[in-house]
Structure 1
Amino acid sequence: MTVSIVVAAALVGPAVFNDHMRRAGHGDQPDVLEHAQEAFYSAGLQSIGIGLLVAAVGALLVSVVTTRRLGRWLDALGRGALRVSAGRYDQPVQLDGSSPELERVADAFNGMSAQIQTTEARRRTLLTDVAHELRTPIAAIDVTLEALEDGVLIPGPDTYATLRAQSARLARLASDIRDVSTAEEGRPRLSLEDISTANVLEAFARQWTQRFAEAGVGLVIPAGPGVTIHADRARIGQVLDNLLANALRHTFSGGHVEVRCSVSDGLVLVEVVDDGEGIDPRALPHVMERFYRADPARSRADGSGTGVGLAIARAIARAHGGDLQAHSDGPGRGATFTLSLPSSPNLHRS
């Protein structure tokens, strides 16, 4: 850059200077012209030299200041990375006065740290919950085997049934943990196709009517024309299975469960409404969390559920671009679970 400035000044300056001297009437005065040229060269070179020196000093100062500030910002990012690697996620990286580009880097880093913190919290909660859930069936199997060894129990159908039931409970827990982890990570495999809600509900009527009748609970599932949706038949079946099993588990003999299907604001709504136990307002925001139970003692005692069915159902609904919501007016006043799914682009009654 410096060489370019000097060369440009040497080539352009004298010609311009001589032209101005001739216009001023000094073109026929060689002595005056020579002295003026010498003065011009000297002044020009000194000016250029001083200017370049000032520019170099200024550039050096700016470079030092910028390098120091950049070093502080990079050091802050480095310390933040060390904190995250050490498992400390509660101190976000602050880059005060940095450039917009570095601010975006800091925001992305803090977002990543928050996501890691959430994932780590879920992992710890899951391990705690799984350990708690495994304790009951393992204890039951252990007690049964100990009684057999001591001769307190005689091997027979009841003993084998107990062992099979607890073994099945462990298998169901393992399957549910796999399903909820897959679904909540947003990577369930969906085999999408156009399906009719009428056909799906008809199949569920055949599958569940007898079970509800044996429990003394009435079941009403709409028949007739339904709505075509673009969804995974098996996954939607899994959601409805969970909702009906949940409704049956929390509805007393003599109660009723009704399934409703409608379309609203471009969404297909499938509601499972019961007049059973209802949900306490304090528990309502948590009913679809993993392993949450409003009455943990009862369900753990009878092994009626692993506590992840609703979490799986909601995750599957969201994987379809929909949602699953719960509503209850309180204990003893029943509950409504609403599955919402985006309508098919070619929505029609079928």
Structure 2
Amino acid sequence: MLSEEDILAAVRRSLGAAGADPTAFPADGARITRHLLVDGEIVRSVETREERPGFHPGSRDLSDRPEYDDLDGYAIPAPADPGNPSTLLLVRRGTVDPRPCVCANGRRQCARCEGAGDLKCPPYVPCGGCEGRLCCLSCEGTGKPALKAADRPQGETATRVRCRECGAEDAACEKCRGAGRKKCGVCRGSGTRPCPVCKREGTIAHDYCEGTGRYVRWTEGVVDRRPVVDAFEETSSLPARAFAWTRESDGWEHIDTAHEIPDMDAGIAAFLKPRLGFHDGEVGRRVRVRHLSLARVTHDDHPHRVYVVVPGQVTPRVVAVRSPRRTLQLALLALLVLVATFTAARLVS
């Protein structure tokens, strides 16, 4: 931490004077306050444990998984890096239960065709031209001519041809020739079509065992670890832009530890201790923090300026900003100019 003499010397040098020249920026009238900048993150590894049913269709070798008797009591080392998520799958001892499935060797009857392999299909469908209505003006598709032929439907422009059923000329639909129907294009008049689900096999693979005819059940323990990050950037009594003043500073002090922080400075402790409490399920943490102590200097001979001294490895850096008093003066001046401009505009109009 810079001494008060080092701070005053840095301000003098920033004003173009020698650092040891007390007349340039005398100690009398100078007021120095110290302000801490702290930023960083605390990464915690938070663990949850749960049991759930395990299931696998077919055969499954679980010998590579650790076994446990009491999930809460199963010991796992702390994570090497709390920032890395992880999931550990365990097997409760004595719960692995391989069984044959109730299906027939991995197959079950097709529900769509009820095991037949085929579906019923109408062998004939209505004609696409006449849709089965007035397929023949003479016999209506029966093959027996009526005493009086029907009239053409109003507005009909399609050509009528010789009926294949009754032989009447210019009476039948040209597409079906008086039949009023045609063979189904799927079953071609057979009355049955292949089942689209089982492809005529009558059976399909059993979903539960995925066609294997067996399955394995067990009780699974799941230990899940996820990082929870608490990132922060705080300063004591300085504006947030103070961090921008320190971008080029090499005077930051760093803390990087997974353990308790020894010999913590009181100012740092005031920032960190409220954040260092234990979280439910916490199994590890890493604290990465950097901190820097700045000096804020005001002087009776420089009422319009505030000097912020930023420590560095070689020499401090000084940032000069307007004092709150000067900022207020400029704001009032801008307000007066605005009022005068508005008043002049009203007088002219």
Fold similarity call, TM over 0.5: no
Higher strand share: 2
TM-score normalised by the shorter chain: which range applies?
under 0.3
Normalised by the length of structure 2, the TM-score is 0.22
Higher helix share: 1
Which protein is bigger by CA-based radius of gyration? 2
Higher RCO by CA contacts (8 Å cutoff, separation 6 or greater):
2
